[in-house]
Amino acid sequence: MISKAYKRENRISPLSATILNVIFILLSLACVLPVMLVIIVSFTHNDSLVNQGYSFFPSQWSVTAYTTLLKEFSTIAAAYRVSIGITVVGTVLSVLLMALYAYPISRKDYPFRSFFTFFLFFTMLFNGGLVSRYMIYTQTLHLKDSYIALILPLLIVPFNVIIMRTFFQTTIHPALIESARIDGASELRIFFRIVLPLSLPVLATMALFATILYWNDWFNALLFINTENKYPVQYLMMRVLKDVQYIRENMTLVSQNPELLKNLPNESLQMAIAFIGMGPILLVYPFFQKYFVKGLTVGAVKG
Amino acid sequence: MKSRKTVVFAPLALALGLSAILPACSSDNKGSSASPAATAASTSASTAAVASPQALAPYEVSIVYHGKPQKDDALVQEKLNEYLKAKMNTTVLLQPIAPSDYKKKTELMMNTGEKMDLVFTASWLDFSANVTKGAFIELDALLDKFAPDTKKALHPLYLEAPRYKGKLYAIPTNKEITQGKAFTFRKDIVDKYNIPTDKINKMEDLEPYFEIIKQKEPEMINNYVAGGPASFMMYESKSNYRPIGPVPAKLPMFFLDYKSQEMKVKTVLDQDIIDLNKADAEMFRRYYEKGYTNADAATVTTNIADIRKQGKIWQQTTVWKPGSDIELKLSDNFDWVSHVIEEPIVTTDLATGSMLSISRTSKNPERAMMVLNYLHTDPYVINLVVNGIEGKHYKKISANRIEPIKDSGYDGGLFWVLGNQFLNYLKPGQPDDLYESWKKFNNDAKRFPLLGFVFDDTNVKNEIAQLTTIVNEYKVISTGAVPNPVKLLDERNAKLKAAGLEKVKTELQTQIDAWWKENKK
C-alpha cells in the first residue's frame, strides 16, 4: 500500500504530466508513422505515387505490389528460409561462443585474462578491410556460396563480449563460484549450471542483438553468395533498392539499353518488400524486451 | 588448481580468439594480391598446341556477367553444359551479378585474384583502368586461333576500340555499334497537330509546337526535365563538337570537332562553347518560364519512363538505333516516330559499351576463348543463355521468332550483354529485318577520329575530382529552373578555371597528340 503522503509527494503536476505525455506521444508517432507510411505506400497505386508522391492518403489504392511478390513466391520463400535459418543457428552459436569467451576473461583468477581481453579489444581498433576479408573467406576457407559464410563473420562481436564480461564480473560473485567448487563442481559445470542460468538477462539481450544482426545482414550475402536461392531476404530487398538507385544514376546506360527498365520494381513494390522483410523481427522483439534493461546495465550494482 | 583452470579454458579461449580475429584482422594478405598480375603475360603465351575437342581435358569456364540472378539460372547452365560437354568437354559456371553490385563485386574479385574466366566489362565499368592494372589478358592471338569466326562476324571498328597500347583486351558483344541521337514523338499527337517531325532538328524548332500542345493538351508535359543535365542535344544539333570521353559527372567538358582534321581539344571555357552553353541556358530558362518544362525540374527524380507510360509525354530526346521506337512501344503501348538529328558516330565509349574479357586468373584462357566463340557463333548456345529453354521459357513461333512465356523464371534480358545479338531470336514486335537494318546501320556509322583513344587521368586525378564537384553543383543551370542562368554559367566557368580545367586540357591534348602520332594512318 502506498501512503497518501507518499502519493502526493510523487505526484506530477497536471501541466508536466501533459507535457510529458505530449512528448512521448510525439516520440511514439515518430517511430510508428514511418512504418505506417511504408505500409501505406506498399498499397498505393503507382499512378498516384508518380502524381502525389508518398502520402498517407493516396488517391488510388492497389495490391499490385503484393501480387507481383506472390509471383516471386518461391524466391521469397527460399529467402525467408535462409534468413530464418541463419538467424536461428547464428544466434544460438553466437551467444554460446560469446559467453564462452566472455566468461574466462571475467574471472580474476584466469592468468591470460588481460592478454585475451586485449586480443579481443584489438580487433575493435583495427580491421583488415574488405579485400582481406574476402580473400580469407573465398580463398583460404573456400566458403563462397555456402551458408557458413553468412554465419561465421558475425559470430563474435567484440563489443558485446565486453558487455557480457562486465555483466559476469558484476553479477556473479566470486564467492559463488568458489562455493560451487568446494561442493565439487567442475569448471564446465559451474559455467553451465551456475553462471549461465544467473545471466539470463545478458544472454537474452545478446540473443536479441545477434538476431537483429543476422536478420538484417545483407552485406555478407552480397560478398559471398552467388546462387539465387541462397540469398537471405534482406539481400533481395537491398538489391531491389540498389537496382532502382543504380538505374537513376546511370541514365545514359539505360537510354542505350532501355530493357534495363523493363522489370524495374516501382516504389510500392520496394515498400512491400521492406514490409515483409521487417515482419519477423517485430514479432521476436517483445519476447526479448523484458530482459533488455537488466542485461544492458553495464556495471550496475546488484541490489 | 590454477593449472587445471588454464587447461580447460586456454585452448577454448584461443580457438575463440582466433575465430574472432579471422574475419576482422588479416591485412597481411593484402600485399599478395598484387603479385599474380605479373603472371598474366605468361599465361597468354602458353597458347601451345590444342588437340581435337574430344581430347581436351575437362574444364569449367566461369562466366561473370552483368545481370540479375534468376530462378532458372541453374537449369540453363545444366542444358548448356550438356551441349558443351559433348562438343568440347567443357562446362560453364554462370555467375550473374546484379547490376547495382556488379562493379564493386567484380573489382573485389579482381583485386583478390579470384579465379574467373570470362568477365563482362565495359567502358562504364572502368575497363581501361582494369586493363592498366593487368586484370585482363591480351586476346589477339587467342582470337585468331580459337575464334576466327567471331572475328569475321564482328564489325572491324569493334576490334579497334578495346585496345591498350595496341593490344586487344576484350571482345565486344556483337550488336549495334553506335547510337544516333533523335527526337522521338508520339505518333497520335504528331498526326493530330500535323507536326512536321523531319523539320525539327534542334530544341528551338520545337517551341511553336510546345505552345500548341500547351494550349490544347494541358495534361501533357512538353519538356520533361529531371534534375541533371537537361538535354544532350546541345552540341550534337548545333555544332560538330563531340565530347571526348570519359566525361566527369556525365557532363561533357572537353570537345573535339569531329570533322576537322586538326585534333584540337576545346573546353567549356572556349568562346564558341561558351556561346553555345549560354544560348542553351537561356533557351531552357525561357521554356521553364513559359511553363513548357515541368515545374519541379530541379528536384524531381521520377524517371521519364514512368511518366511516359501515363501518356503525359509527347516528345523526348532519345538515343536511337533501328528498332528503338518499337522498344518504346513495347514498354508503354504508344506508337512512336523518331527523327534522327545526329549522324551516328562510333566513339570509344560506344564501341566498348558491352564486352567480354578473359581474366588473368583464368587457368585456361584457350578454353574461355572457345566458349566465347560459341556465344558468338552458335545460335543454340547464345539463345539458351539469352532466352532460356525452349518450351519452358519461350515458345517458338517460327525459325527465328519466339514468344517469351511470362514469369517463367528466365526473362531474356541478357541480349546486349553476351555474345552475338544478331543470332538472337526475334521477339514480338521486332521487325523481321531488324538485324539487317542494324548491320546496315553499323556499316554506315562514322568513325570518330579518336576511336580507340582512352584518356589516362593519373596525372590530373585531383583536378578532375574538383571539376566533377563543381559541375554537379551547377547541374541545375540546364534545367531552366533557376533564374539568371547566364550569370551562373559565368560563375561556374570561373570556378572550373580556378580548379584547373586548363591543366586537364593540356594533359588531354598531349595524350591525344601522342596517340595520334602513333595511330595516324
Q: Please, what is the average pLDDT of chain A? A: 83
> What's the confidence (pLDDT) of residue B22?
41
Instruction: Give the model confidence (pLDDT) of A137-162 as tens digits.
Output: 888 888 888 899 999 999 999 999 99
Contacts A–B by Cβ distance under 8 A? 173
Residues with Cβ within 8 Å of B286's Cβ and at least 6 positions away in sequence, in order, are B480
Chain A residues within an 8 Å CB radius of B107: none
Q: How far is CA B421 from the centre of its chain?
A: 15
- Determine the distance in angstroms separating the CA of B277 from the nearest CA of chain A, rounded to an integer: 20
Nearest to A134 among B8, B25, B112 (CB): B112
The predicted structure's pLDDT at residue A200: 86
Q: Which long-range contacts (CB under 8 A, 24 or more apart) does A240-248 make?
A: A240/A265, A240/A269, A240/A270, A240/A273, A241/A270, A242/B98, A242/B100, A242/B101, A243/B68, A243/B98, A243/B99, A243/B100, A244/A270, A245/B100, A246/B99, A246/B100, A247/B99, A247/B303, A248/B301, A248/B303
Q: Output the pLDDT for position B18.
A: 43
Mean pLDDT of chain B: 82
Question: Chain A residues with CB inside 8 Å of B12's CB?
Answer: 100, 104
Residue A67 main-chain phi, psi, to 5 deg: -70, -35
**pLDDT at site A265:** 64
Of B6, B19, B250, the CB nearest to A155: B19
CB of B295 within 8 Å of any CB in chain A? Answer: no
Residue A298 has pLDDT above 70, yes or no: no
Taking Cα atoms as reference points, which of A99, A95, A91, A72 lies closest to residue A215? A91
B50 vs B213: which has the higher pLDDT: B213
Q: Check B19 against A133: CB less than 8 A apart.
A: no
Q: Does residue B20 have a pLDDT over 50?
A: no
Higher pLDDT, B131 or A294: B131
pTM of the model: 0.78
Query: Residues of B numbered 32-51 whose beta carbons fall under 8 angstroms of chain A's beta carbons: which are they?
Result: 33
Q: What is the average per-residue pLDDT within B466-492? A: 86
pLDDT digits (tens, 9 = 90+) for A194-250: 899 888 888 988 988 898 899 889 999 988 988 888 899 888 888 877 877 777 666
Say what percent of chain A tops pLDDT 90: 26
Range B43-56 average pLDDT:
48
> Are residues A129 and B71, on separate chains, in Cβ contact within 8 Å?
no
Which of B9, B126, B325 to mutate: most A Cβ within 10 Å?
B9
pLDDT of residue A47: 74
A257 contacts in chain B (CB < 8 Å):
416
Cβ contact, residue pair A50, B302, below 8 Å:
yes
**Does A262 contact chain B (CB < 8 Å)?**
yes
Contacts of residue B11, defined as CB under 8 A and 6 or more positions apart, other chains included, come to none
Res B24 pLDDT > 50: no
Segment B452-468, tens digit of pLDDT = 888 887 888 888 888 88
Average pLDDT over residues A109-118: 91
Q: In Å, how far are A68, A71, B77, B443 from B72, measured between CA atoms?
A: 18, 14, 9, 37
Rounded distance between C-alpha atoms, residue B302 and residue A248, angstroms = 9
pLDDT at A264 over 70: no
Confidence class of residue A8 from pLDDT cuts 50, 70 and 90?
low
* DSSP bridge pairs for B59: B90
| C-alpha to C-alpha distances, B150 to A143, B122, B479, nearest whole angstrom | 37, 19, 45
pLDDT at A294: 62
A236 touches chain B (CB under 8 A): no
| Tens-place pLDDT, residues B254-286 | 888 888 878 888 888 888 888 888 888 888 889
- Per CB-CB distance under 8 Å, the chain B contacts of A258 are 305, 324, 327-328, 331
Confidence band, pLDDT 50/70/90 cuts, at residue B49: very low
> Where is average pLDDT lowest: B25-29, B150-154, B189-193, B494-498?
B25-29
pLDDT-derived band of residue B64, with 50, 70 and 90 as boundaries?
Answer: very high
Q: CB of A291 within 8 Å of any CB in chain B? A: no
Q: Is the pLDDT of residue B14 over 60?
A: no
Residue A293 clears pLDDT 80, i.e. is over it: no
SS3 sequence of B21-61:
HHHHCCHHHHHHHCHHHHHHHHHHHCCCCCCCHHHCCCEEE
Region B102-127 average pLDDT: 90
